[in-house]
Chains A and B, each alone.
Chain A
Amino acid sequence: EVQLVESGGGLVQPGGSLRLSCAASEFAFSSFSMSWVRQAPGKGLEWVANIKQDGSEKFYVDSVKGRFTISRDNAKNSLYLQMNSLRAEDTAVYYCARGGYSYGSWGQGTLVTVSS
């Protein structure tokens, strides 16, 4: 069974940074595009970023461009999201999802809270 396990969430002050990680197992990680999707408390899903299988292409939602960086390490079966200059509106559960635009597998999510 496909497993995606996020980590790295927590409480951070506005302007701060966090790095999220997603450990993948039970599938050929290097063969799939991967994505981050977030959900603010009580709100809907928002696509954040995706990355091609070999990391050659990355796309971001406009609201995080220049602040967030998606990356991957295929040797470690891991996906990352470096989040800088965090804002209150970035507060959300961040999900790691398998796929670039259609997500057959999701992690359990990690909560990021941006507050002073």
Chain B
Amino acid sequence: QSALTQPASVSGSPGQSITISCTGSSSDVGSYNLVSWYQQHPGKAPNLVIYEVSKRPSGVSNRFSGSKSGNTASLTISGLQAEDEADYYCCSYAGGSAVFGGGTKLTVL
């Protein structure tokens, strides 16, 4: 049950694209297409932005996209906007249990 590995921080200018990686193992990310991503603004509960690797919930902007290759999943946000500044967490199914990444702080410059 080791936490998934994410970069501590990423940044980008408005209009640019950024990608956040999430590296796990063959016990979680590599074995299941059940990776989800969450956006969390300060003092708020997390909000689901991607599920099952690349699916977007209703109401989430199509600027958010997800992918996976081997043991690493990725979240890409295109056309960065000021409101995207937040913490982002990946999460993977791990055979009954689940495991989160350590989180990535996105700064919009």
Contact = CB atoms under 8 A, between A and B. Distances in A.
A91 to B, nearest CB: 17
A80 interface: no
Interface residues of A, number: 22
A59 B52 CA distance: 20
Nearest to B34: A101
A46 B101 CA distance: 8
A103 B96 contact: no
B97 A50 contact: yes
A35 interface: yes
A61 B51 CA distance: 21
A47 B97 contact: yes
Contact of B38 (A45, A59, A62): A45
Contacts of A59: 96-97
Given A45-B100, A61-B1, A101 B45 contact: no
Given A45-B100, A50-B97, A50-B98, A104 B48 contact: yes
B102 interface: yes
Contacts of B102: 44
Given A37-B100, A101-B92, A102-B48, 11 more contacts: A44-B3, A45-B38, A47-B91, A57-B96, A59-B97, A60-B97, A102-B34, A103-B38, A103-B48, A104-B57, A106-B45
